Amino acid sequence: MKFLLTLAALVAAVPASAAVRSGHATAEWVASSATYQASKPILTAIRLSVDPGWHAYWVNPGESGMKPGIEWTLPAGWTAGPVGWPVPIRFETGGLAGFGYVGEVLLPVTLTPPAGASGPVALEAKVTWLTCSDDACVPGEGALKLELKPGEPLATAFEPLLTKVSAALPKPVEGLALEVKDDGKKLSLTLRAPSGTDSAAFEVFPATPQVLDSAAPIRFVKAGEAWTASVPKSEYLEGTPESLELVLTGGGLPHPATVVWRK
């Protein structure tokens, strides 16, 4: 009986900010543990639930839209890692191509307390977003607060989901490399991929905004030992790009992948 009560307490411990509804979405801040330990990272996420018929945006929103923004207000010594961006979907809004999410999306963020941290803490974040449908776009924002207590890790009901989402984030794959050449109105992309993958089957998303034309599909074709694609530039690109990051899925990759080129 004591074990069952303890297990129930673990599952019931769900620290989360009060949900904030704005625009056509609801936001809250959830954590994998109800407690923290000094110097040890804790996985959290901004959870955005978008109304049916509406969508929110990715780190590269495409030809229109706005990526979600987060402003942290953390206790002294606490740090927030980079925001994780799950693989998006493509859509059109008013004839303009975009990238983003429908339904629910979790944006993982790892928090790290300082050495010697103690006592209950309240962490704050101001989150902004844009939701769009085929007919309109409505901005939203929310002030979120996450409260944690010191102690041994105490898993919440969100822990399995946060772990799964974090593990599925795009990340580098060994043997994947990208080169970019400026061909005037287009960029020539040369991709080298690990054996056992099929670059022609990759689904490709440009994570760097305003470099490639968001409406143009990116399809790689075999060229010797590498794969190439010619993609129109974004109308907002001035001069030659300094960098380009692509997100790739499918084609035999072990997981969603990122590949980055820098000039």
- Segment 91-100, tens digit of pLDDT: 998 889 999 9
Contact present, 144 and 20 (Cβ < 8 Å): yes
> Which pLDDT belongs to residue 94?
87
Tokens 């056992």 -> residue: 196
- The helix/strand/coil state of 157 is coil
The neighbour count for residue 183, using CB atoms within 10 Å, is: 11
Q: What is the pLDDT of residues 117-170, one digit of tens each?
A: 999 999 999 999 999 999 999 999 999 999 999 999 999 999 999 999 999 999
Q: Could you give all domains of the chain from N- to C-terminal order, each with its CATH number?
A: 15-167 (2.60.40.1250), 171-262 (2.60.40)
